[in-house]
């Protein structure tokens, strides 16, 4: 993604201490550790172990559930990380969605006080961003948003430790804004729990609970029977386990074709879901072995690689072919794809560009909309202790 100009150079008036010596050092330390917000609003921060865990949907669903209890809610994403360019400004898409779904009348510079773009990171590394000023900016934005709210919902960055360059990790923000923290985590195997324990240690007593999201049927029983008791025995509260749901974890072939600006040259099966991608850049024999190990995948390959097309059509886990370079496959390939109900999308872009764009579509989630949040509300109510999370603040 290409970054454009950001507003990270906004001037902020600060009180400058002109004294020298020990007293100045003590003041500086106090500025670093002091928690200072002038509001009694309850605050819940939703953090994540990694990107694309459903953090946005969970944050907004919890906010809507609080609204259902009659509470006035606000939203804020202190570090904008899911960026798109719009009329010369780089903005995070999640606050835009929150403003719409929660009916919030707030300015984007308050909803997203720090645009955590590649340009911002470069400036911070060069010493051109002051962590104390950035914390002040976050606090000021928070107080503006929280003024008329009973409860604020904060959305963390892509990963909980993002922002360490300027002392604005999710743990730092939790301390500065006195927030309880919900940790959203994936789970596939027991080794994944190492990172959960590390994050729990970073959050300390602020951790209200871990929510495991998109857990497959295969992993669910072990997580519930063995892992959750282990975590709770080590002082890590678990608020719930949300099972994987296909409509929230992938994108249909029809939507994928539309987002890629592609042409469907074989249309049967466009309601299938794609959750991952495989790139066909090897020989035919190797390709077939590779494709047979994947599941719910779209194969992206050059439009002139007929042997790869044939191999992909023989693999049961392949749900779609995406052919790059504007090529149209042979009639035989189209006929076989139609018979097997495997749609083929032809795009004009090269393979690398197509892979990057397709992965971004699935990662960001074409289902990230009102319907997604509605469904997540139900999942949270059915599979997590919503009351304990909301009453933890």
Per-residue pLDDT reduced to its tens digit, 106-157: 888 899 999 888 889 999 999 999 999 999 999 999 999 999 899 999 999 8
Do the domains 251-363 and 38-247+367-390 match in fold?
no
Percent of the chain with pLDDT over 70: 83
Per-residue pLDDT reduced to its tens digit, 170-194: 999 999 999 999 999 999 899 999 9
CATH number assigned to the domain covering 251-363: 3.40.1390.20
Q: Which long-range contacts (CB under 8 A, 24 or more apart) does 387-392 make?
A: 388/208, 388/209, 388/239, 389/44, 389/62, 389/182, 389/208, 389/209, 389/211, 389/239, 390/44, 390/62, 390/65, 390/66, 390/69, 390/151, 392/44, 392/180, 392/208, 392/209
Rounded CA-CA distance 134/44 in Å is 20
In this prediction, residue 83 carries a pLDDT of 56
Classify the C-alpha dihedral 110-116-117-121 as positive or negative. Answer: positive
Least confident of 229-233, 315-319, 376-380: 315-319
What superfamily would CATH give domain 38-247+367-390? P-loop containing nucleotide triphosphate hydrolases (3.40.50.300)
> Six-digit token pair at 122?
């470069």
In DSSP terms, 346 is beta-bridged to: 263, 323
Q: Which long-range contacts (CB under 8 A, 24 or more apart) does 253-257 make?
A: 253/298, 253/319, 253/320, 253/343, 253/345, 255/361, 255/366, 256/298, 256/320, 256/322, 256/345, 256/358, 256/361, 256/362, 256/366, 257/343, 257/345
In this prediction, residue 58 carries a pLDDT of 94
User: 280 falls in which pLDDT band (50, 70, 90)?
Assistant: confident
| pTM beyond cutoff 0.95 | no
- Dihedral angle computed from the Cα positions of residues 381, 385, 388 and 391, in that order, rounded to the nearest 10 degrees: -10
The domain spans of the chain are 38-247+367-390, 251-363
Q: Which residue has the tokens 């042409």?
A: 263
pLDDT at 235 > cutoff 90: yes
Rounded CA-CA distance 187/242 in Å is 10
> Six-digit token pair at 41?
């609003």
Is the model more confident about 227 or about 95?
Answer: 227
User: 249 falls in which pLDDT band (50, 70, 90)?
Assistant: low
- With CA atoms as reference, report the closest residue to 82 among 103, 53, 61: 53
In this prediction, residue 362 carries a pLDDT of 72
CA angle 124–130–135, rounded 5-degree value = 110
In DSSP terms, 301 is beta-bridged to: 323
Q: Are 318 and 294 in contact (CB under 8 A)?
A: yes
Give the DSSP letter of residue 384. Answer: B
């Amino acid at each position: 993604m290409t970054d454009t100009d950001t507003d990270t150079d906004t001037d902020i008036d600060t009180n400058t201490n002109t004294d020298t010596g020990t007293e100045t050092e003590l003041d500086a330390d106090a500025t670093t550790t002091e928690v200072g917000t002038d509001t009694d609003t309850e605050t819940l921060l939703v953090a994540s172990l990694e990107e694309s865990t459903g953090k946005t949907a969970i944050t907004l669903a919890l906010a809507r559930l609080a609204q259902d209890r009659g509470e006035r809610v606000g939203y804020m994403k202190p570090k904008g990380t899911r960026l798109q360019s719009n009329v010369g400004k780089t903005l995070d898409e999640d606050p835009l969605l929150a403003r719409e779904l929660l009916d919030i009348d707030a300015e984007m510079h308050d909803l997203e006080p720090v645009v955590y773009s590649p340009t911002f990171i470069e400036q911070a590394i060069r010493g051109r961003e002051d962590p104390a000023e950035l914390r002040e900016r976050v606090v000021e934005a928070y107080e503006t948003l929280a003024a008329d709210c009973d409860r604020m919902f904060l959305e963390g960055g892509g990963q909980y430790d993002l922002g360490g360059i300027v002392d604005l990790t999710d743990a730092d923000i939790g301390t500065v804004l006195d927030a309880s923290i919900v940790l959203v985590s994936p789970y596939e195997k027991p080794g994944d729990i190492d990172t959960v324990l590390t994050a729990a240690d970073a959050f300390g007593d602020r951790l209200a609970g871990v929510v495991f999201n998109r857990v497959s049927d295969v992993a669910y029983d072990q997580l519930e029977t063995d892992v959750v008791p282990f975590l709770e025995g080590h002082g890590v509260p678990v608020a719930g386990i949300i099972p994987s749901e296909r409509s929230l974890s992938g994108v249909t072939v029809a939507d994928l074709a539309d987002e890629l600006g592609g042409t469907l040259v074989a249309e049967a099966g466009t309601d299938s879901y794609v959750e991952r991608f495989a790139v066909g850049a090897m020989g035919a024999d190797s390709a077939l072995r590779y494709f047979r190990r994947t599941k719910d995948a779209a194969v992206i390959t050059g439009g002139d690689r007929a042997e790869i097309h044939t191999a992909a059509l023989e693999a049961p886990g392949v749900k779609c072919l995406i052919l790059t370079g504007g090529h149209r496959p042979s009639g035989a390939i189209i006929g076989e794809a139609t018979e097997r109900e495997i749609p083929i999308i032809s795009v004009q872009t090269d393979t690398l560009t197509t892979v990057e764009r397709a992965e971004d579509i699935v990662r960001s989630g074409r289902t990230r909309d009102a319907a997604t949040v509605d469904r997540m509300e139900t999942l949270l109510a059915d599979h997590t202790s919503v009351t304990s999370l909301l009453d933890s603040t």
